[in-house]
Structure formats: structure tokens, C-alpha cells
Amino acid sequence: MREPEHRRKRAIATDLEEPVTAARNLAAKLGLEPYPVRYWIVDHDEMNELIAYGGFQRRYPHWRWGMQYDRQQKQDRYTGARAFEIVNNDNPSHAFLQESNSLADQKAVITHVEAHADFFANNDWFGLFTDRRSDSDDVDAAAMLERHSRAIEAYMADPEIDRSDVERWIDHVLSLEDTIDQHRPYRGRLERDVEPPDLDDDLQETLENLDLSSEVTSEVFDDEWLEARAADDGDGDPSTPETDVLGFLREYGKAYDPEEERAVELTDWQRDILEILREEAYYFAPQQMTKVMNEGWAALWESRMMADEAFAGDDEVVEYADHMASVLASPGLNPYSLGLALWQYIENVTNRREVVEHLLRVDGITWRTLTEDIDFDAVLDRLEPPAAIDSIDSASLSALETVPDAWVDADALEAARAGRIDVDRYPWRVLSYEGLARRHYSLVKPANRGVFERIGRDRLEELGRYIFDSDRYDSVDEAVAAVDFTAGWDRLFDVRESHNDVTFLDEFLTAEFVRENDYFTYEYSQATGQFHVASTDPEDVKRKLLLQFTNFGKPTITVADGNYDNAGELLLEHEYNGIELDFEQAKAVLERVFELWGRPVNLLTIRKELDDHDVEVAKRRNREPTPDERGVRLRHDGTETTVERVDWTAVEHLAADDVDYDTKPDEWLA
Amino acid sequence: MGLRDDLERFRAVGEDRREDLADFIQYGDLGHSGADEINVPIKIVSLPEFAYDRRDRGGVGQGDGDTPDVGQPVGQPQPQPGDGDEEGDPGEEGGEHEYYEMDPEEFAQELDEELGLDLDPKGKTVVEEHEGPFTDLTRSGPNSTLDVERMFREGLKRKVAMAFDENFVREVCKVEGITPREVFEWARGERLPVSMSWIERAHESVADERGTWASIEEVEAGVDRQPVQQRIRRDGIDHVPLRRDDERYRHPEIVEERERNVVVVNIRDVSGSMRETKRELVERVFTPLDWYLTGKYDTAEFVYIAHDAEAWAVEREDFFGIRSGGGTKISSAYELAAELLEAYPWSDWNRYVFAAGDSENSSNDTSERVIPLMEEIPANLHAYVETQPSGNAINATHAEELEKHFGPDDEDVAVTYVNSPDDVAGAIYDILSTESEPDE
């Protein structure tokens, strides 16, 4: 690094030391439990490079990093969009801040990063990778990736190994990087016989607690899946269906030797690279599975710290608001705004439920009469945080004696009184988690005041059903006083622990949200040859969204048989959910799978076939033709790929008849 | 390894997968390229993966302020989670496309390779005379330019040429009763570069030892001769005689830099009969020609002439879009071309005059006006590209008449027929391979 550059970065880093410490304290006060974070100041090019390499400084040599760098560079050249930060999932996490950010941006980024680091550390899906590794729960991702990088570099440099063979091998494996079993803990080997006995119970319980809709349950965690998991126990036989295609190939794969014209054992480097890439796929999977949640989570706490707790200075808050607005406003399916809205929804609805449940216990009030008997505005006024914690400065400290002890951090208050804490700058330091939850109680915020009123009768009835006659309150005041103000936050932390995007969207995406954000589904019309708006029904939108988040938005492919046709051929199956494969790509992937299996490979799937005549008729009548679903088998034998119709009985077990992702109405092309 | 390496590998991968250049010219989307940057689509850079059929999958979109009506067409679907980059049918894809960028120089080079062309651009104007490397030599000059190495080399050559085996000659002087004259005669016979006076001196200095040998034959048998090289190696060079004759002074060579300038006149028939497909074919032929010549020459200027019964000069942006309703008189364009080319004197500029149209012309215009004009306008090459997607029309005779007049082997005139995109690469080859050898 050149000297002045180094000094410049050093200076920025020094300026940021204080905000970093303060942000960490605040995060802890708010209930976040982030991994330790190391911050680095990087320039624009370094930032682009880090983004291209997935947030790490060292990855194995591959052209796609170059491609991503190239794209990243063009993107900010042509669109002006720039990256502010990148943080990686590691313990400690490493966060990279761009040196050109303003101080307001840096602070925002730091608060954002702390929330991400909390998510990495506490979300169970991330735990699948870390928990079952060796003896510690350290991720140590940077070290792992660097180790991988060194190993692959060594293979490439090995004079015995042709570098281009290594590169081709990596490409073959990467074609399958999403065909892993991301719902299972990562294990170095595909040890299908050592399933910890408690796992399935846990899982069953977790699933029940998730309150999932039947669609998700049937699509993701169906009986078959559970059975398959159970069946995996004690069954190392390669003829059992296996979702971890990469793991299967690592155990049983071979390479094709064109000179000997037969399958040969994988060389050590081939098997090693397969394992390296599989491990990385498992490492990166949780990030893909929780994109909406994770980004929303970071945006939520960022805004809480920056705006609500005035972490941004007075002069910085406007700039911060601008920045936030532009991030949230980017078009398309924006994980930030979608995630943030859902988290806010969870907080509000939990708080509302807590209040309503208390109100329903006031004597004389039932779910039928609640909306008439209760003056919502009066209740909201009572829910306002008391002045003593709403605005805190060095002159008002004595007022804190009037609030419950649980709201106050007694040690900090002591320190503040002694002048050891700058309470004018960091008023939150004298409050506890409970105090802060009270201070930022969601229902009374101007944007959320309507939430309370909007509660529907059916919801009230539902809540009313569980109210027992005991524990009655004499008055509304008494009921409100008993409200647990941390209910909303507690729920947030629970959800961030157990959910992934699919379950998150399924449980919390409301019809209201879909309507407010003008979401719609679109479908392709065979009759007109283009995409049309198909439905604005929230249920349809949700179903379509879930499709796109389930299994990384990719079709589910499993290994059905490692000795297909009794000839050592590989049989893959596509678990058909009504949406057919991109056949061109599937054929190209099969060619690569052949390289990893060394023997012919097959793929059973279902294809939608359209009769030209039907399409013609449909066009004339402005209707959609109805395709025939037929079973097909794709096969690649090393030289050619064939596609062959098979009898329906051969694929019947693959077809899911309880899901329907087609949102086309009967009449839609007026 | 590292970023630079990965970028390089990406470019290499991109190059491998780049659309074949001829395919690109004939069928590809030329619209993404500018005059100075050619963007050749890359087929698939992303690795294939198991994915849903994009059409069958559909997706979720977000309205802009309000929810759109059901049935309303949506333009390009927004990118969806799970989308890789994939290749679908043309027109169905989103804006995400990778391109391999090349500049006109690279394009020209690649096209040369692809089509086996060998167009050597001619330098015309002498723009500069500058001092090249100091490779010319003179007998006088400033001391600093004295070629010491050469002088030493010459001296060394001379020394080697003059050296002889002194010991051996001295031994010969010791032969019983030999006279200096006899030694000298012998040395002459041996072609030794030794002087009579050296022998006389040596003869005298060994007078005491005379009689050591009975005869010269005995000396030859008893004493080993040592070749010059061996002695120099053993004793060192000692003294190299430097002479004034060998002094040479280096001085710079004068290099004439000729700039290779080209002016390309693109003429297009925009009359009513030139419909959409014909226009597109013209664009497909002319655009790569423009890139190619831009890449081959230092300076490339373009003149665009549109004509129906009259001709007018237009800007490039407008050139391919213009349509008019009038009749056709091709000579009008050549008259204008002759006029505009006066700004680019033949002595200084390479000239290319490309015309394209559907071969329909007013009667007798071709033979009476166009052909004489083509002969009058000096140019490296005149070309006519006939675009007739539907085959021959009865009165489309311009190209045929040109061919008849100039003959198929004329080196200054190329006539080609482009009836479909399949013919484009061939036409470009015909045109660029026709150019005659320079007359100079």
C-alpha cells in the first residue's frame, strides 16, 4: 500500500473508532448479540474486488470472480450505483467500509453491519454450518476459504496436473453448487448413517412452531422429506434418494477416461476440489436462504439506531434519511424494503396482540364490544413512553427515579451522574433493554398508530377465544399498565433465530402488504407470446413469491439411483411442482454431471407439451392452450444427449398434485 | 493468481464463447455497438444450472404507484430471485447481456483471420519526417557518435589477419645453413603475413642456435604450430592497432512516416422500392465495412450519401433510417460523391466508394452516367452491393450492367449480391478482397 493512501485510511479508521465502540454498546443494549466485528477501510477498487469475491480477500482462482469484478465496475460506471459496505459471515465478522463514504454513511453502515453480524451469529440456518463443525462454533470462514484457495492454487501449479483440467473440473462442480441439502447441517462426508437422534425431534418441533401454511409444509417439509430424512438413517446404500447431489458425487462419482473409454476412480485432487466447493456451497447457502430477512433485519436496526436513537448527528440525519430512502426505493423485488416491512409488521402485530389480550381481560369487555367500548386514541396516549425516558439529558436524570427500576441501567446511571458518561450524546446508555423497548414502543409511532385501529373482528374473535375469566382487570388503565412492552422485540429475536426466507414470507407476508406495494404476478401467454399481468390476488402473489424463494428459486433435483438400469448409470429426478425445467440448461448440466459420474447420466422429469394446432386455436380464441404433461428422460452418455418420452408411471411419483403455481385466471386476455 | 489473473481468465473464457464473428455480422444485434466500440455478444458466460423454464415460471412484479390490470402485458420481466444469466430466445431476454468489447483495430484483425483477408492499407500523406535509430554511418561527426565498437572490431580483424606463429618461424630460422631469404620464401609459400625485416631480425637473434634442425621438414615434424586464435586466447590480445581509416560516426536514419488516411463514401438508395429488409441488409454490409476500415487506417473519414432521384449528404445516425418516396437515379449520388471527394485529394487519401441499392435505376442512367463517373472518380475500390431479398426484379439491372462493363475480374470494382443475411459475410469478403495492388 502506498504511504499517503495508508495514512488516509488510517485517519478515517481513527475517526471511526468512537462510533464503532458506541454502535457496539448500543447494539448490545438493544438486545443484539453480534459476532465481534473487525472494520476495514477500503477504497473503491478494493471494494469492487471484495464484492466480486463474495466478501473475502482470498478465494480460489476462478474466472467468475473476474466476471463479477468486471460487472461491478461497469455497474458503477454506468449506473452510478455504489456499494457502501460489505460484511462477511465469520466469527469475527469482517466489515469493509468504503473510504469515500461520508461520516453519516459510515455510521449507518456500522449500525447495519452490527445487525448483520447478529443475524449471522444467531440465525439457526447459519448454525447448520457452524454448529456441527469440529469442536468450536467458530465459523473461521476466511481461514477456510484461504485454505481452499491455497489447495486449488497448488493443484493448478502442480506440473503433473494440467491447469485447464482443474479449471474445467471446477466449472463442472459449480454447475451443481445449488444441488445440496441446505436444510441439513453440513458434514464433511455424506454420512448418511450418523444422524444425531435428537435432530429430527427438534426439527419436527421447530416445524410445528413455525406455524407454516400447508403450502410450505407440503412443498418444503412434506412427509416425504421427513420420511426421506428418517430413511436416510442407517442407510448408506447409494440407491436411496439423496438431495445432496454434490455429496453423492463426492462419495460415488468417477471420472471418464477418454483414452481408456471407461470410468476411472477420481483422482485425489478431483475429489478434494469437489469437497472444497461443496463445503463452500454449504457455507454460502444460509445467506441465500435468508436474504430478505437478513437485509430487512439490518435495515430495521440501522434505522432504530440511526434515526430513533439519534446515532446520526443532527447534521447527519437528513443525509442518512436520503440514503435510506434511496436504498429502500430501488425497484423490483427489493429485499431491503420487503424485509424491513415484514419485521415492522411482526413488531407491530405482536405488540398489538399483547395490548388487545390485556384489554380483552378488562371487565365488561368482549371481542364483540372491544372496538366500541375502547377509545383507541386514549389507549395509545397511555402507551406513550413517559417523558422521563422519552427525552433524556444530563439535566433530566433525576426524573429516571420515577420509572420502574427494570428500565434503567443502574450502573450507567451512576456513571452518568458522575459525569463519566456523556448522556447528552448517548442518552440510551442509562437505559436497559426494557427501558429502550419502552422508549421505542412501536404502536405509538405516527406511522403505526393506525395498526391498532385496523385490527379486524375475526382477529379479535380469535384472540378472545383464549381469554379466560380469571386474571380480570378492573379498568383499562390497569390493563394497559400490565402490558409487556418488550413483547414486540422479544418476538423479533425469536423469529430471527428460527426462520428462513420461505417460512418468514409464508408466515408474515400479509395481503395488506401485497396490496399496498402493488405486487402482482405475471405469466407467459402462449397465445400472445409475451408476459402478462396474471393476478393481483395476495394469495397468488405469495405463492409465486414462495416459489422463488424455495430451494434458492431452483427446481429440486435428487439422486434416485446410483446403479440405474443395473448398469452403474446415474439417475437424477426432478421433483416436478408444475413448472418445467429449462431443458437447454438441463442438458448442458447433464453433460457436466457425466464428467463427475464417469458413466451415463439420466434425468427423469415432466415436460409440458403443446400441440401447434392447439396453440393456433388458442390464439384465435384468445385463450391459453392446455399443455399435456408427459414424462421424459434426458440421458447423456458422453457423446450425445437424448430426450425420450417415458411412460407416465415412471414419473408419476415426481408430480406434485397439491401445489399449483400457475396464477393465470381463466379469462385474462380480453 | 489473484484478481488480475481471474480477470484475464474471464476475458479468455469470454473470448472462447464470443459469438462467431461472421455470425455476429450476419445475424447478430449490431445496435449495441458504436462507431468505435464493437460489442460482440457472448453466448453464455454463466455456467449452466438446473433452473426453471422462465416462461413457465412467470414471476412477481411491482406496480409503479398502482396495481396494473390483469391481462396487461408486462415488458421485460424484472429479475427474479434465482435467476442466473441464461440464454433464451432472442427478444425474450432481459437487458442483462454480456458483451465482448473490441475496438475497430481488433475487429479488423479478427475479420482478417475469419475471412482470410489481407488488406494492406496504403500510406499516402507524408505527415512527418523524423529521426529514426542511429543506424547510418559517416566518416566524420561529433566524437560522441563515434562507433568505438566498430573501430575496435576492425582493428581486431586486422590484427588477426596479420598475426602469425612467431615461434614457429623463429624455429625455422634455426635450420642448419638457412638464409633469411630462404625463410622468407618458405613463409611466402605458407602464406604467412611476415615481413623480410622481421625475419632478418629473428635470423640474427638465433644465430647461435642455428643447426638445431637439419631441415624445415624436421622443424615441421618436431614443433607444433599454434593457430592464431589459440595464441590470442593464451596471451591476450596485447595490442589492437586502431586506425583512422576505421573511424565511423553513427548518425540517425531519416524515417518518413506516412499516415494512412481513408475516406469511405457510403451511398445508399433510399427510394420507395428500398423496403425494411433491404435496408437492414445494407446496414449489415456497410457497418462492418466501416468498422474494418476504421480499424485498418490511422484516420478514417466517412461520407454518407442518400439518394433517390436526387442525392444529399447525411449524418451517420440518419443514414440507415431514411426513407423517401422518389424514383431512383444512381448517378446523382456519384455526382455528389465526386464533389465531396474533392476535399480528400487522391494523392493524400485512400478512397473507397461503396454503393448499395436494389439495382433499380432510371433507364440508361447506369451506362450513360454512372459508369463514366465511376471511371472518373479515382479510388482504391468502387463497390456496388445489390440487395434483393426476393431475387431479381425485372428492371433491376444496375449491378448486372456494372458487372458486364467492368468484368468480373476488375480490380477496382466489386459487384456483389446480398439476398439474405447469409450472403453478408461473403459480400464483405468479395469487396475487401477485390482491391487492386497500388499503382505506385
Q: What single-letter amino acid sits at B252?
A: P
**What's the confidence (pLDDT) of residue B73?**
82
Alpha-carbon distance of A631 to A654, in angstroms, equals 9
- DSSP code of B438? P
**What's the confidence (pLDDT) of residue B332?**
92
Report percent pLDDT > 90 for chain A.
48
Q: Do A178 and B8 touch (CB under 8 A)?
A: no
Q: Do A61 and B81 touch (CB under 8 A)?
A: no
**What's the confidence (pLDDT) of residue A20?**
92
Q: Do A582 and B54 touch (CB under 8 A)?
A: yes
In a domain? residue A669: no
- Residue by residue, DSSP assigns B68-106 as PPTT-B-SSPPP-TT------STTTS-S---EEEE-HHH
**What's the confidence (pLDDT) of residue A193?**
45
* pLDDT, tens only, A506-521: 999 988 888 878 889 9
* pLDDT, tens only, B91-120: 223 334 566 777 888 888 878 877 777 777
* pLDDT, tens only, A151-192: 999 999 999 999 989 999 999 999 999 999 988 888 776 655
Q: Which residues of B touch A549 (CB under 8 A)?
A: 81
Q: Which residue has the higher pLDDT, B38 or A584?
A: A584
Is residue A302 located within the same domain as residue A418? no
Q: What single-letter amino acid sits at B394?
A: I
Alpha-carbon distance of A517 to A449, in angstroms, equals 19
* pLDDT, tens only, A211-264: 666 556 555 555 555 555 554 444 444 445 789 999 999 999 999 998 888 899
The residues, ordered by sequence, that sit 6+ positions from B401 with a Cβ below 8 Å of its Cβ are B366, B367, B371
Q: Do B49 and A521 touch (CB under 8 A)?
A: no
Best mutation target, A522, A545, A559, to test chain B (most B CBs within 10 A): A522
Alpha-carbon distance of A359 to B372, in angstroms, equals 102
Residue A136: pLDDT above 70? Answer: no
How far is residue B321 CA from its own chain's centroid? Answer: 33
Q: Do A70 and B69 touch (CB under 8 A)?
A: no
Distance in Å, alpha carbon of A379 to nearest chain B alpha carbon: 34
CB nearest B71 (choices: A515, A548, A670): A670
**Residue for grid cell 614443433:** B223
In a domain? residue A212: no
Query: What is the grid cell recorded at A245?
Result: 447431489
Q: Contact B121/B229 with Cβ under 8 angstroms?
A: no
Helices (H), A290-334: 291-303, 314-329
**What's the confidence (pLDDT) of residue A237?**
47
Report the DSSP beta bridge partners of residue B381: B352
Q: What single-letter amino acid sits at A415?
A: A
Alpha-carbon distance of B230 to A530, in angstroms, equals 91
Q: pLDDT grade, residue B62 (50/70/90)?
A: confident
- DSSP code of A365? -
Is residue A346 located within the same domain as residue A489? yes
Q: Which residues of A touch B3 (CB under 8 A)?
A: 49, 52, 65-66, 69
Q: Which residues of A touch B53 (CB under 8 A)?
A: 579-583
Report the DSSP beta bridge partners of residue B140: none
Tell whether A586 is within 8 A of chain B (Cβ).
Answer: yes
Nearest residue of A to residue B44 by CA position?
Answer: A585
**What's the confidence (pLDDT) of residue A62?**
92
Q: Do A519 and B63 touch (CB under 8 A)?
A: yes
**What's the confidence (pLDDT) of residue A27?**
95
- Residue by residue, DSSP assigns B155-204 as HHHHHHHH---HHHHHHHTTBTT--HHHHHHHHHHHT----HHHHHHHHH
Report the DSSP beta bridge partners of residue B403: none
Q: pLDDT grade, residue A342 (50/70/90)?
A: very high
Is residue A473 located within the same domain as residue A372? yes
Q: Which residues of A touch B95 (CB under 8 A)?
A: none
CB nearest A66 (choices: B7, B60, B72): B7
Helices (H), A158-240: 163-174, 197-209, 214-219, 223-232
Q: Which residues of B touch A73 (CB under 8 A)?
A: none
Q: Do B61 and A533 touch (CB under 8 A)?
A: yes
Q: Contact B91/B277 with Cβ under 8 angstroms?
A: no
Q: Do B67 and A536 touch (CB under 8 A)?
A: yes
Alpha-carbon distance of A487 to A438, in angstroms, equals 10
In a domain? residue A174: no
Query: Across chain A, what does the average pLDDT equal?
Result: 85
Average pLDDT over residues B380-391: 83
CB nearest A582 (choices: B53, B61, B77): B53
In a domain? residue A663: no
Tell whether A245 is within 8 A of chain B (Cβ).
Answer: no
Query: What is the grid cell recorded at A265?
Result: 476412480
Q: Which residues of A touch B97 (CB under 8 A)?
A: none
Alpha-carbon distance of B23 to B425, in angstroms, equals 8
Is residue A507 located within the same domain as residue A545? no
Q: Do A61 and B67 touch (CB under 8 A)?
A: no
* pLDDT, tens only, A87-113: 999 888 999 998 888 888 888 889 999
Alpha-carbon distance of B406 to A418, in angstroms, equals 105
Is residue A431 located within the same domain as residue A570? no
Q: Considering A486, A511, A536, which residue would you say is the last residue of a domain?
A: A511
Alpha-carbon distance of A142 to A131, in angstroms, equals 17
Q: Considering A478, A511, A544, which residue would you say is the last residue of a domain?
A: A511
* pLDDT, tens only, A277-309: 999 999 999 999 999 999 999 999 998 998 888
Query: Across chain B, what does the average pLDDT equal?
Result: 78
Of the ranges A67-81, A366-380, A461-475, B220-234, the best mean pLDDT one: A366-380
In a domain? residue A23: yes
What pTM did the predictor assign? 0.69
Residue A349: pLDDT above 80? Answer: yes
CB nearest B1 (choices: A61, A167, A532): A61
Average pLDDT over residues B311-319: 86
Report the DSSP beta bridge partners of residue A186: none
Axis-axis angle for helices A487-498, A501-508 (nearest 10): 140
Average pLDDT over residues B166-185: 85
Alpha-carbon distance of B33 to B304, in angstroms, equals 19
Query: What is the count of structural domains for chain A?
Result: 3
Rg for chain B (alpha carbons), in Å?
A: 39
Residue A76: pLDDT above 70? Answer: no
What 3-state class would DSSP assign to B301? Answer: strand
Average pLDDT over residues B15-43: 70
CB nearest A581 (choices: B11, B52, B98): B52
Tell whether A56 is within 8 A of chain B (Cβ).
Answer: no
What 3-state class would DSSP assign to B383? Answer: strand
Q: Do B61 and A522 touch (CB under 8 A)?
A: yes
Q: Which residues of A touch B17 (CB under 8 A)?
A: none
Q: Contact B281/B357 with Cβ under 8 angstroms?
A: no
* pLDDT, tens only, A460-470: 888 888 777 66
* pLDDT, tens only, B262-296: 889 999 988 877 777 777 888 888 888 888 888 88
Is residue A493 located within the same domain as residue A388? yes
Is residue A372 located within the same domain as residue A410? yes
CB nearest A582 (choices: B6, B14, B52): B52
Distances (CA, A) of B262 to A330, B237, B334: 48, 59, 18
In a domain? residue A667: no
Best mutation target, A167, A548, A610, A641, to test chain B (most B CBs within 10 A): A548
- DSSP code of A378? H
Alpha-carbon distance of A277 to A273, in angstroms, equals 6
* pLDDT, tens only, B391-434: 666 777 888 888 888 887 777 888 888 888 888 888 888 888 87
What 3-state class would DSSP assign to A645? Answer: strand
Average pLDDT over residues B137-148: 75
Q: Contact B80/B59 with Cβ under 8 angstroms?
A: yes
Average pLDDT over residues A323-335: 70
Is residue A499 located within the same domain as residue A387? yes
Average pLDDT over residues A396-417: 91
Tell whether A549 is within 8 A of chain B (Cβ).
Answer: yes
Alpha-carbon distance of B229 to B224, in angstroms, equals 15
The b/e string for B282-320 (b: 16+ C-beta within 10 A; e otherwise) is: bbbbbbbbbbbbbbbbeebebbbbbbbeebeebeeeebb
CB nearest A582 (choices: B67, B69, B86): B86
Alpha-carbon distance of A200 to A275, in angstroms, equals 25
Tell me how many residue pairs between chain A and chain B have CB atoms under 8 A apart. Answer: 201
Q: What single-letter amino acid sits at A316?
A: E
Q: Which residues of B touch A64 (CB under 8 A)?
A: 6, 10, 47
Q: Which residues of B touch A150 (CB under 8 A)?
A: none
Alpha-carbon distance of A509 to A341, in angstroms, equals 9
Is residue A482 located within the same domain as residue A569? no
Alpha-carbon distance of A578 to B57, in angstroms, equals 9
Q: Which residue has the higher pLDDT, B271 or A194?
A: B271
* pLDDT, tens only, A569-593: 999 999 999 999 999 999 999 999 9
Residue B125: pLDDT above 70? Answer: no
Tell whether A219 is within 8 A of chain B (Cβ).
Answer: no
Is residue A496 located within the same domain as residue A608? no
How many other CB atoms sit within 10 Å of the CB of residue B182? 16
The residues, ordered by sequence, that sit 6+ positions from A7 with a Cβ below 8 Å of its Cβ are none
Average pLDDT over residues A552-557: 94
Distance in Å, alpha carbon of A501 to nearest chain B alpha carbon: 12
Q: Considering A300, A327, A354, which residue would you say is the last residue of a domain?
A: A327
**What's the confidence (pLDDT) of residue A116?**
95
Q: Which residues of B touch A545 (CB under 8 A)?
A: 60
What 3-state class would DSSP assign to A283? Answer: helix
Alpha-carbon distance of A180 to A286, in angstroms, equals 12
Residue B244: pLDDT above 70? Answer: yes
**What's the confidence (pLDDT) of residue B225?**
78
Q: Do B49 and A589 touch (CB under 8 A)?
A: yes
Report the DSSP beta bridge partners of residue B357: B386
Lowest mean pLDDT among A41-45, A213-217, A430-434, B291-295: A213-217
Q: Which residues of A touch B61 (CB under 8 A)?
A: 332, 519-522, 533
Tell whether A199 is within 8 A of chain B (Cβ).
Answer: no
Distance in Å, alpha carbon of A198 to nearest chain B alpha carbon: 33
Q: What single-letter amino acid sits at B284?
A: R
In a domain? residue A664: no
- Residue by residue, DSSP assigns B2-24 as -HHHHHHHHHHHHHHHBPPHHHH
Q: Contact B47/A172 with Cβ under 8 angstroms?
A: no
Distance in Å, alpha carbon of A145 to nearest chain B alpha carbon: 14
Tell whether A661 is within 8 A of chain B (Cβ).
Answer: yes
* pLDDT, tens only, A591-645: 999 999 999 999 999 999 988 888 888 878 777 888 899 999 999 999 999 999 9
Beta strands in A275-429 (DSSP E): none
Distance in Å, alpha carbon of B87 to nearest chain A alpha carbon: 9
Residue A317 domain boundaries: 3-123+291-327
In a domain? residue A209: no
**What's the confidence (pLDDT) of residue B439?**
41
The residues, ordered by sequence, that sit 6+ positions from B26 with a Cβ below 8 Å of its Cβ are B284, B421, B422, B424, B425
Tell whether A330 is within 8 A of chain B (Cβ).
Answer: no
Distance in Å, alpha carbon of A595 to nearest chain B alpha carbon: 14
Report percent pLDDT > 90 for chain B.
8
Alpha-carbon distance of A342 to B96, in angstroms, equals 30
Give chain B's domains with CATH numbers.
Answer: 1-47+93-102 (no CATH), 143-251 (no CATH), 259-434 (3.40.50.410)
Average pLDDT over residues B247-251: 77
Alpha-carbon distance of A301 to A116, in angstroms, equals 9
What 3-state class would DSSP assign to A293? Answer: helix
Is residue A39 located within the same domain as residue A114? yes
Alpha-carbon distance of A621 to A490, in angstroms, equals 56
Q: Which residues of A touch B58 (CB under 8 A)?
A: 521-524, 531, 534, 544, 661-663
Is residue A587 located within the same domain as residue A445? no
Axis-axis angle for helices A223-232, A197-209 (nearest 10): 170
